[in-house]
Amino acid sequence: MNLSVVIPCYRSAHILPELLERLLPVLAEATDAYEVILVVDGSPDDTWVTASALAVKYDDVKAIRLARNYGQHPAIIAGVRAAAHEVVVTMDDDLQHPPEEIPKLLAALTDDVDLVYGTPEREEHGAMRSLASRLVKAGLSGPLGVNNARNMSAFRAFRTFARDSFDRVHGPHVSVDVALSWSTTRVVAAEVRMDRRAHGRSGYTLRALFRHAVDMILGYSTVPLRLVTYLGLAVGGLGLVLFAYVLVQKIFGSTTVAGFTTIAATVALFSAAQMIAIGVLGEYVGRIHAGGIGRPTYVVRQRVD
C-alpha cells in the first residue's frame, strides 16, 4: 500500500531532523511509494525554516505552513487534504510516537478495517493527564456514542477515502476523530510502544484537554441540550416538592414569618438551572455564528514540495 504520513509541527525545529532520519528508512522498507507532509501550525520558532529545508533536501517530504496557530486537529486536516496516497498515517512531531511502530498500524489495517488507532502498551503521560484523557474518552464513548472513543489517539492509520467526512467540516472547532467516526465503523486498535516527549513540553495541558473535550461535546452532539432539558425537569420536580412542603406547613399551621430560607434556596436553585441552560444554549449559538460568518478551519500561507 502507498502511504502518506501527516505530522503537525509546533515548536519542533530541533527534533524534526531526527524524526525524519528515523522515519524515512521505516517508510522505505514498509511501502513502495510514500510521502511525508509536515504541517507547521504557526510555530513561533524556526520550525518552518527547518521543515522547508527538509522538504528541499528530501524528494518525498512536503512542508505546509499555516497562516497562524490553529491547533492540532485543523493542522492534521490540512495535511490529510493534501495527501496523495491511499493510506494516511498521522503522528506527533515529538517522537512520542516512534516511527518504528508504524508497521504495526499497517499490519492491523487489513482488508476489512478502515481505521487503526495506536494504543500505548503503557501510559506515556503523567497520572493526572492520563486520568483526564480516560475520563474524556469514557464520556465520548458513553453519552455521546462515539464509536471506539476509548481507543482514540493521535497515532492512527486510515484509508484516505475516510477524509471525505471532512468535506463539510469547517470553523475552528473540529475533531479529526469524530469526523472519522462518521465515515466508518470498521475500526480496530493496535498496541504500540509510545515514548516520552524527547524535547520541550507538550501543549496539551489539562486546560487544553478540557477545552478540546468541550469542542467535541458541543460541536458534534446535541446531548448537552438534552441534558439541559432533563435538568429543567429535575429542577421543576424539586420545585413541586418544595411547594408541597410549604403547603403542608401552611395547612398544619407550622408556617411562620421566617420563610426566607426556603425562598432564598428556591430562587438560588432555579437561578442556577437557568444560568446553566443559558450557557449551553449560548455555546451553540456562538458556534452557529462562527460557522455562519465563514470562519475557516485553517489558511495555508506557504508550501514547499
The Cα 288–Cα 55 span in angstroms is 38
Question: Above 90 in pLDDT, residue 10?
Answer: yes
Predicted pLDDT of residue 61: 96
pLDDT tens digit string along 115-151?
999 988 876 555 555 555 555 555 555 555 555 666 7
pLDDT tens digit string along 257-272?
566 556 756 776 777 7
Verify that 18 and 89 share a domain, yes or no. Answer: yes
- Burial of 225 per CB tally in 10 Å (0-12, 13-18, 19+): middle
Rg (CA), the chain: 24
Evaluate whether 100 touches 108 at the Cβ level (below 8 Å). Answer: no
Verify that 202 and 241 share a domain, yes or no. Answer: no
Verify that 112 and 196 share a domain, yes or no. Answer: yes
Verify that 189 and 61 share a domain, yes or no. Answer: yes
Tell me which of 165 and 131 has the higher pLDDT. 165
Predicted pLDDT of residue 132: 54
Predicted pLDDT of residue 79: 94
Tell me which of 8 and 230 has the higher pLDDT. 8
Verify that 55 and 138 share a domain, yes or no. Answer: yes
Verify that 231 and 215 share a domain, yes or no. Answer: no
Q: Quote the percentage of the chain above a pLDDT of 70.
A: 70
The Cα 43–Cα 65 span in angstroms is 9
Verify that 208 and 74 share a domain, yes or no. Answer: yes
The dihedral region occupied by 200, where left means phi > 0, alpha psi between -120 and 50, and beta the remainder, is left
What is the total count of domains within the chain? 2
Tell me which of 281 and 110 has the higher pLDDT. 110
Identity of the amino acid at 214: V
Verify that 256 and 205 share a domain, yes or no. Answer: no
- For residue 166, how far is the Cα from the chain centroid? 14
* Residues 139/108/123/220 CA torsion (nearest 10 deg): -20
Residue corresponding to grid cell 462515539 = 146
Verify that 195 and 272 share a domain, yes or no. Answer: no
Verify that 148 and 269 share a domain, yes or no. Answer: no
Verify that 22 and 86 share a domain, yes or no. Answer: yes
Q: Quote the percentage of the chain above a pLDDT of 90.
A: 40
Predicted pLDDT of residue 220: 59
For the chain, the average pLDDT equals 80
The Cα 6–Cα 17 span in angstroms is 15
Verify that 98 and 195 share a domain, yes or no. Answer: yes
Q: Determine the structural domain holding residue 38 and report its residue range.
A: 3-221+295-304
CATH of the domain at 57: 3.90.550.10
Question: Above 80 in pLDDT, residue 187?
Answer: yes
